[in-house]
Every structure is written in structure tokens, then in C-alpha cells.
Amino acid sequence: IQTGEYAKRFIAEGATNYSSMTAYRRLNAAHPIEQVGAELREMMPWITANRLVDKDKN
């Protein structure tokens, strides 16, 4: 980060519609811990009432 290399790679990846970042997000979303977490959050309605970001809308 201090050398600016991260920012350069991030900007360059933006030209390809963030293919690596999108792939990492897809892999993380498919991880079993995320699926279990989603099921648990569905069982707790008070959590969705106070949600800052609604993933269904965004």
C-alpha cells in the first residue's frame, strides 16, 4: 500500500470490470459459513429490522 502498487493494480483491474474482486466475492458468498450465517440471520427478525444495507436492494 505504501508504494502505491495496490492502488495501481486496483485501478488497472477496474478497466476489466474488477474481474478478480468479483471472483473473490463470488467464492466468499458460496462458502458454507456464509450460507449458514444467512440461514441464522433469517431466524432473527430483529437483525433485519436494523439492517444498514439491504442486499436485496443494493
Residues 6+ apart with CB under 8 A from 34: 28
Where residue 4 falls (left for φ over 0; alpha for ψ -120 to 50; beta otherwise) is left
| Grid coordinates of 23 | 471472483
| Residue 54 domain-assigned (yes or no) | no
Q: What is the mean pLDDT of residues 9-20?
A: 91
Would the pLDDT of 23 be above 90?
yes
Instruction: Enter the pTM of the model.
Output: 0.56
| Residue 57 domain-assigned (yes or no) | no
Query: What percent of the chain shows pLDDT beyond 70?
Result: 97
Please give the Cα distance from 32 to 4 (Å, whole number).
34
C-alpha 33, offset from chain centre: 14
Report how many domains make up the chain: 1
Which domain does 37 fall in, by range? 5-49
| Residue 55 domain-assigned (yes or no) | no
